[in-house]
Structure 1
């Protein structure tokens, strides 16, 4: 893992495994989110989402923290940048321009995304982790929502993703009180899939496993689960029927059925 100064985001392409790792790279500032970092992360995620050669993605970080959320020094300067005491125009535009697009890219790209959480994840850092499909964390990692402590509600999709993970009651508690919780608690609550001494390696192994799997089916699963948390049973049933019709016409499905009948391992190619 690189901790040297460099680009705000590092992109590592493993073409053989069809896995791309996107790494936040401001270790000296615990990966606090500046405009430069947010733009680089947004653009990298949107590019990899559109890249058909990538079948799975890892979101990781350099240094000892995953991401401590917004860089408040930069935010304070933006707040003061307006005229006659008004809030600066750029202070809150970062939510639709950066946070929303980053969370949407993670949560809606039609390929699995695994978060490798090596250290503290708070605020938008927690939001980004929860926008991923699966999470691996190092032992003892601390999580917190942090927004209420600075008079904010929540962004990066956290108000929804946290409630979907732990239920509305606990999500409200965590958002209002801001009390930290550990990786072990997160695992017990279903937020974290696995605790690993080397979360980067564990997340990469999981991403490689997913990349070898039925990625078209994973995309439909991802969309259906997201829909299922906010939709009626009838809507979910209709969506599932449409998804199964799409998947039934794929080479992946037909080949997997033939492999099953022949007692062989299927090979998925994403078509």
Structure 2
């Protein structure tokens, strides 16, 4: 349910469970984390994370969430692996982003969303804490008050508002998502991995 595609230094991890709104099982989280960890030691100049269908990810698989996945260390392993990557990381958000799936997107360097995408992280209502690194990354993007709106007040953010807040970097029609991401990674695709890593480290 996770598909990895490679094209001349561009690694593309695709969440492919559209019949379940791309909800994530423990095995899927471990596979995504493994891809990010492998990219750190491979030839990747960019890692793009995206989904199939109209939802990027609804968060944890409900059955596994009830069995403990909602508080699993796998979420933090995944977001940490993405954040540590020396290459460019892009969340290509093909639709709504919810719950714990927010962590991997927050850990990316860039976030591009389609029109109509929604963003919410209902940890207050569900009685869970967010993963440890998520509030800090969210605050860095949108500021403390807006982070509290999402995490404490349960706000559901529309794509245009997410762009205004800085939660995402671009909003495009669905038909333009792949092309927009391809343009964003074009320069790093033609560069040496060490050059990519050096500029990212400087930033």
1:26 matched to which residue of 2?
A: 17
Please give the residue correspondences for 1:241-256 in structure 2 after superposition, counting only pairs within 5 Å: none
TM-score by length of 1: 0.69
Give the distance between the partners of 1:156 and 1:19, measured in 2 at CA: 29
2:35 matched to which residue of 1?
A: 44
Give the distance between the partners of 1:63 and 1:101, measured in 2 at CA: 25
Matched, 1:205 2:186: no
How far did residue 91 of structure 1 move? 6.8
Matched, 1:13 2:3: no
From 92, 95, 101, the equivalent of 1:125 is 101
The CA RMSD measured in Å over matched residues stands at: 1.7
- Residues 60 and 200, structure 1, Cα contact 8 Å, conserved in 2: no
- Residues 113 and 207, structure 1, Cα contact 8 Å, conserved in 2: no
Pairs aligned (count) = 198
Give the distance between the partners of 2:116 and 2:125, measured in 1 at CA: 22
From 175, 191, 198, the equivalent of 1:217 is 198
1:144 matched to which residue of 2?
A: 120
Stretches of structure 1 that go unaligned for 5 or more consecutive residues are: 1-7, 80-89, 223-271
How far did residue 211 of structure 1 move? 3.1
1:186 matched to which residue of 2?
A: 162
Matched, 1:108 2:74: no
- Residues 119 and 156, structure 2, Cα contact 8 Å, conserved in 1: yes
Stretches of structure 2 that go unaligned for 5 or more consecutive residues are: none
How far did residue 200 of structure 1 move? 2.7
3-state DSSP class of the match of 1:114?
A: strand
TM-score by length of 2: 0.90
- Residues 118 and 200, structure 1, Cα contact 8 Å, conserved in 2: no
1:35 matched to which residue of 2?
A: 26
Give the distance between the partners of 1:196 and 1:157, measured in 2 at CA: 28
C-alpha spacing 1:177/1:110, structure 2 compared with 1 (3 Å): same
- Residues 146 and 175, structure 1, Cα contact 8 Å, conserved in 2: yes
1:253 matched to which residue of 2?
A: none
Give the distance between the partners of 2:22 and 2:202, measured in 1 at CA: 31
3-state DSSP class of the match of 1:115?
A: strand
- Superposed CA deviations along residues 46-99 of structure 1, whole A, max 9, x for unmatched, are 111210x211111111111001111122222x25xxxxxxxxxx774x2x2x11
More strand by share: 2
3-state DSSP class of the match of 2:148?
A: helix
How far did residue 122 of structure 1 move? 0.9
How far did residue 204 of structure 1 move? 2.5
3-state DSSP class of the match of 2:129?
A: coil
Q: Select the structure with the greater relative contact order (CA < 8 A; seq sep ≥ 6).
A: 2
1:84 matched to which residue of 2?
A: none
How far did residue 128 of structure 1 move? 1.4
C-alpha spacing 1:43/1:130, structure 2 compared with 1 (3 Å): same
Give the distance between the partners of 1:35 and 1:139, measured in 2 at CA: 29
